[in-house]
Amino acid sequence: MARALLLPLLDQGVIPRDQVQAVVASADSARRLQAELGVAVGRDPAQAWAAPAVLLAVKPQLLAAVAAGAPPPPPGDDAPLLISVLAGVTLKRLERSFPGWRCVRAVPNTPCLVGAGITGLAWGDDLPAEQRQWVLDLFAHVGVVKELPESQLDGLLALASSGPAMAAVLLEALADGGVASGLPRPLALELALGMMAGSLKLIQEQGLHPAQLKDMVASPAGTTIAALRQLEQAGVRSALIEAVLAAAERSRALNAG
């Protein structure tokens, strides 16, 4: 996730490369990241904790170990900023783990990599307006930003952050259906991708409810209603609902862990 955020910000010049210090665990990761991003990459966490703003992007299970190595910030009004993209880890837990830091909980998704992301943000109580605006402006460069009550972030994570994987599975399955119908695989994938992109554009630009588009396409006793009947019999709608709920529950469980 850190790569998906940093790469477009660096390429756009929003953050100068010479002002970024990345810290990773392994030497192989350091070499790979340095070549890919063109920023300084080290393995000493002290290099990162000296920055005025830190993007924390580790596995939630590693939070305690990372926090144990974080020095307290110097006293004063200019408290440094900690932006966490850790799934499920609440602001309360972040503030308890990093005393003296001003914390932001961010939930971005992978399409940030191409400037089409969605990011949910929740703030710590003591975050000044100028730091809040800086974070909003930063994430606005990679897509849509939603300021939400923290209680809604698990739902946003489940739908917007886990959603691209579910969309990819749907796209792949539709292309497989095209292959099963006799289309060459490259053409089937091209058609499935174009169909999904066009359908989303139609819904967005004409302000349609998804059910309206469904009804526009499905004529009496036609091919589309036959396909929709198969989806209902297979429980596809219910499976998608349950998939989003499962992701949200997992996000909540990660904080408990």
Q: What is the distance between the alpha carbons of residues 88 and 91, in angstroms, rounded to a whole number?
A: 10
Residues of the chain with pLDDT below 50 are: none
CA 217, 221, 227 angle in degrees (round to 5)? Answer: 60
Q: What percent of the chain has pLDDT over 70?
A: 98
Bridging pattern class, strands 102-107 and 117-123: antiparallel
| Domains of the chain from N-terminus onward | 2-149 (3.40.50.720), 163-256 (1.10.3730.10)
Residue 157 confidence (pLDDT): 95
- Residues in CB range of 74: below 8 A, 6 or more apart: none
- Res 76: pLDDT: 65
- State the average pLDDT for the chain: 92
Distance CA 13, CA 8 (A): 8
- pLDDT at residue number 257: 56
Question: Residue 200: enclosing H or E segment and its boundaries?
Answer: helix 185-206
The pLDDT value given to residue 254? 84
Angstrom distance (rounded) from CA 218 to CA 224: 5
Give the span between the Cα atoms of 104 and 123, in whole angstroms. Answer: 5
* pLDDT for 184: 98
Residues near 94 by beta carbon (within 8 Å), at least 6 away in sequence: 82, 84, 101, 103, 105, 124
Distance of CA 244 to the CA centre of its chain: 14
Greatest CA separation for the chain: 72
This prediction has a pTM of 0.90
- pLDDT number for residue 43: 80
C-alpha 60/C-alpha 51 separation (Å) is: 21
